Amino acid sequence: MAENRLARQQETRDKMERPKKWMPPETLPSPNPEEGYAFRWIRVSTLGSDDPSNISSKLREGWEPVKASEHPEIQLMSVGSKSRFPDSIEIGGLLLCKTPKEFVDQRDDHYLKQADGQMQSVDNTFMRDNDPRMPLFKERRSEVTFGRGTPQS
């Protein structure tokens, strides 16, 4: 019969596994998730020039620097000694920070309400020029239609 087949014991997933491919390293590693916290990389400097207004506004917003000891999975090379956050994780002018997820949800709600208010203002301005003799349409839906096709017999 089939003499060139492998015995069932020699067929393993390890032997049938595809060869591994090289992939470039990620520029900013992702920390292991923590229950109830959201992570974000925040700009501390650009091209070696500090950006104190950005980092101070983010700290006031509720973001706090992540300690390097809390996330040993992010292995760092020597970053330098002039960092304003020496015991935190800073890569390429970006500082890893975390905040409670409730703050992120509240922030998203705030900006969603702000965007809705802006759209309502645009609608009011648009509909101000409405005339009953030639009404304007305020339709925000879009439809995708495909050809009707002919019945096959």
Q: In terms of DSSP H, where are the helices of the chain?
A: 13-16, 52-61, 101-127
**pLDDT over 70 (residue 14):** no
| Length of the chain as a residue count | 153
Instruction: Report the C-alpha gap between 92 and 43 in whole angstroms.
Output: 9
**pLDDT over 70 (residue 38):** yes
**pLDDT over 70 (residue 128):** yes
14 three-class SS: helix
**pLDDT over 80 (residue 142):** no
Share the mean pLDDT of the chain: 80
* CA distance readout (Å), 9 to 2, 18, 41, 69, 122: 16, 19, 49, 46, 71
- Under a CB-based contact definition with an 8 Å cutoff, are residues 58 and 38 in contact? no
| pLDDT score at 100 | 94
| pLDDT score at 151 | 57
Query: Domain map of the chain by residue range?
Result: 36-100
Lowest mean pLDDT among 13-22, 66-75, 85-94: 13-22
Give the model confidence (pLDDT) of 46-72 as tens digits: 887 888 899 999 999 999 999 888 888
The token duo for 83 is 């960092």
- Under a CB-based contact definition with an 8 Å cutoff, are residues 119 and 104 in contact? no
| pLDDT score at 149 | 58
3: amino acid identity, one letter: E
Confidence of residue 21 (pLDDT cuts 50, 70, 90): confident
Answer yes or no: pTM beyond 0.75: no
Confidence of residue 2 (pLDDT cuts 50, 70, 90): low
As a whole number, mean pLDDT of residues 5-21 equals: 66
The token duo for 127 is 């509909």
